[in-house]
Amino acid sequence: MKSEDLKGIVHSDPEIMGGTPVFVGTRVPLQNLIDYLEGGESIEDFLEAFPTVKREQAIAVIEAGKLKMLETV
């Protein structure tokens, strides 16, 4: 999966949160999902805390990260 495959899932716009990558349709930074997962929280916890993020968006980002990691092995 390439970064363009995340179009419609995550975007960066200088007018929104200073260009920080956010989930499309929200002002929720992608980093929030990473922080939740690194902190031992579940995806359910993240979605409950940020209800504007769709489950499909979060799963797509996780899948993209897994594929990116496999490419570097």
DSSP string for residues in 34-49: HHHHHTT--HHHHHHH
Residue 26 near residue 61, CB atoms below 8 Å: no
Number of domains present in the structure of the chain? 1
The answer to whether the predicted template modeling score (pTM) of the entire model surpasses 0.75 is yes
pLDDT in tens, the chain (73 residues): 455 667 889 999 999 899 999 999 999 999 999 999 999 999 999 999 999 999 999 999 999 887 777 676 6
Residue-number span of the structural domain to which 44 is assigned: 3-71
> Do the beta carbons of residue 24 and residue 9 sit within 8 Å?
yes
The CATH number given to whatever domain includes residue 14 is: 1.10.10.10
The residues facing 22 across adjacent strands are: 11, 29
